[in-house]
Amino acid sequence: MKQPNILLITSDQQHWNTIGAFNKEISTPNLDRLVREGTAFSRAYCPNPTCTPTRASIITGQYPSQHGAWTLGTKLLEDRHVVGDDFANAGYRTALIGKAHFQPLHGTEEYPSLEAYPLLQDLEFWKRFNDRFYGFDHTELARNHTNEAHVGQHYAIWMEQKGCTNWRDYFLPPTGTMDKGKKHKWELPEEYHYNTWIAERTNALLEQYRDAGESFFLWASFFDPHPPYLVPEPWDAMYDPDRLTIPELVPGELDDKPPHFRMTQEERPDFSHLKETGKGIHGYHSHLMPETERKRLVATYYGMISLMDKYIGRILDKLDELGLSNDTIVVFTTDHGHFFGQHGLQAKGGFMYEDLIRLPFVVRWPGRVPAGRVSDAIQSLVDLAPTFLSLAGISIPHAMTGIDQSKVWLGERSEARDHAICEFRHEPTTIHQKTYVDRRYKITVYYNQTYGEMFDLESDPNELNNLWDSPDHAFLKCELLLKYAWAELGKESMPMPRISGA
C-alpha cells in the first residue's frame, strides 16, 4: 500500500475564530469545505505566539526552549533534527513553498542567515539555489508580508517571469516607492499576489509528484493575514466595517492583570525597563488606535483571509483533479493567533490570551479521518511532526517531544494530551513567561516575578477575571503550578533511549 501524502497548509497570524463554518461574518468556502470533509479541532495551541519559534517547532517536533530558536531574531540551527529528513529517508519527496522564517533578517558571522540582507534580494543566487533546506529537498521562498521591503527570493523571480518587471513599485523602500502610509487597498494586481504564486507553484509540484508516482510531504505556507493590512481589490471592499463584530476592551478588565497589560492602553507607555538590550519586545507599545481605523483593519484582515481561502481552494481542486485527495492527509492551521481589539490589544506580543495562542486547526483524510466532526481534544503544533510520521508508518525519533495524535485524528481515541504549553521569551533579563492550559484552566508564570495570570476558561471564556491573587482560589493556584511543573518535566527531550544498566 502506498504511503499517504502529507499536505500542510498554513496561514500566518490567523485568529482561531475566522473560518466561515464557525463565524458567519466571514466567507471562507474552501476552509468550510475542509471542515465538512474532515475533523476540526477547537482546542489547538501554538508553542509560541510568534513566527520563528513556532515554525521551528512544526518541523522539529520540539518546543522553542528545546530546539533553540526561542524568539524572533534567532535562527534554527542547521544541525537540528527535522521531520523532512525522516520523510526523505523513507523515500518521500519534501518541499516548502512560501514562508519559512527559520532564520532572521540580519545574520552574524557566527550565525549567518540565508534569509538576511543582502542575500535575501540577490535573485541570481536564488535562481541557482537547489540545496536542501531544513529537510526540504525543494524550496521556493519569500519573506515579506504584503508590501514590506523584504520582498525577493523566489517570489520576485516568479513575478518577473510572469511579466511583472516593475514589481518593486508595489513594495516599500528600499526596493520600491510605495507610500509607507498606504493602508487597506494594495495596488498590486491579484495575478501577481503571493497567494497566486504559492497556489500555482504548489500545484505544479503536485502534478510532478503524481506523474512520478512519488509520495510527498509538502508545506504550502501562506503569508496572510499577517499585518500590514493590505489586500488587492475587490477584496479590500468585501466587508463593511460597520457590519462586523469588533472586539474591544472591557472597562476595568486590566485592573487585575500584570502592569504591562495596562501600559498598552497609554498613549506613550515607557517600557524602557523591559528593553535593556535596545531591541524592543513584540507587543510592548501603545495599542491605542482610532475607532474608525480599528474597525477598518478588521474588514481588511477578513478580506485577506477570504483572498487566501480562494487560493487554498485552487490547491484542493488540484488534488481532486489529479486524483490525489483520497491518498493525501491535508492539515490546515496557522502559526499563532491574532488580536484585533480583544482586551484592547492589536496584532501579537507576550499576552497569552486564547485569541493569540489558540488556532484554527482542520484535518482531512477521506475515509480515515471522520468527516464533519468537531473535536475539543487538545492539540499542539509540536505534535504535527510525530503525528505525520506515525500516520506514514515512519518511526518517531526519540528527540521529538510532541505527542502522536494519530489515533485522535482517526477518531479512535478521545484525546492524547491533557494540556498544552506555550512559551514566550525575549531576552533573559526582560520577558520570560510560560503558560499551561488544560481542559478548563490556564495559568501563566513569569520568570522572577510574583505576578501572573490564572483563568477559569469554563466560567470565564473571555478571560476577564484574573484569579492569580484570589484568596478563594489559592489551592487551585497551587494545584495548577504543580501540574505545570509536571508538564515541564514531561516534555524533557530524550535524544536516545536507555539501552544498558551501566
Q: What is the mean pLDDT of residues 458-463?
A: 98
Domain count, the chain: 1
312 has a pLDDT exceeding 80: yes
Please report whether residue 235 resides in a domain: yes
Please report whether residue 285 resides in a domain: no
pLDDT at 277: 52
Owning domain of residue 25: 5-250+293-418
pLDDT tens for 462-481 read 999 999 999 999 999 999 99
Which triple of cell numbers denotes residue 196? 497566486
pLDDT at 172: 80
- In angstroms, the CA 173 to CA 163 distance is 21
- In angstroms, the CA 348 to CA 113 distance is 24
* Higher pLDDT among residues 425 and 175, named by residue: 425
pLDDT at 280: 67
- In angstroms, the CA 96 to CA 100 distance is 8
Q: What is the mean pLDDT of residues 65-80?
A: 93
DSSP string, 310-351: HHHHHHHHHHHHTT-GGGEEEEEEESS--EESGGG-EE-SS-
pLDDT tens for 48-71 read 999 999 999 999 999 999 999 999
Helix (H, G, I), strand (E, B) or coil at 482: helix
Please report whether residue 426 resides in a domain: no
Is the CA virtual torsion 376, 100, 199, 27 positive or negative? positive
Which triple of cell numbers denotes residue 74? 534567532
**At 265, is the pLDDT very low, low, confident or very high (cuts 50, 70, 90)?**
very high
Please report whether residue 393 resides in a domain: yes
Q: Taking all residues of the chain, what is their mean pLDDT, rounded to a whole number?
A: 94
pLDDT at 276: 53
Please report whether residue 54 resides in a domain: yes
306 has a pLDDT exceeding 90: yes
pLDDT at 501: 72
- In angstroms, the CA 299 to CA 347 distance is 14
Q: What is the CATH number of the domain that holds 144?
A: 3.40.720.10
140 has a pLDDT exceeding 80: yes
Please report whether residue 475 resides in a domain: no
Please report whether residue 288 resides in a domain: no
- In angstroms, the CA 481 to CA 475 distance is 10
Q: What is the mean pLDDT of residues 171-181?
A: 68
3-state secondary structure 111-164: CCCCCCCCHHHCHHHHHHCCCCECCECEEEEECCCCCCCCCCHHHHHHHHHCCC
Please report whether residue 86 resides in a domain: yes
Q: Minimal CA–CA distance to 185: which of 148, 226, 238?
A: 238
- In angstroms, the CA 432 to CA 443 distance is 14
pLDDT at 8: 98
Q: What is the mean pLDDT of residues 2-17?
A: 96
Q: What is the mean pLDDT of residues 298-304?
A: 98
Which triple of cell numbers denotes residue 364? 482531512
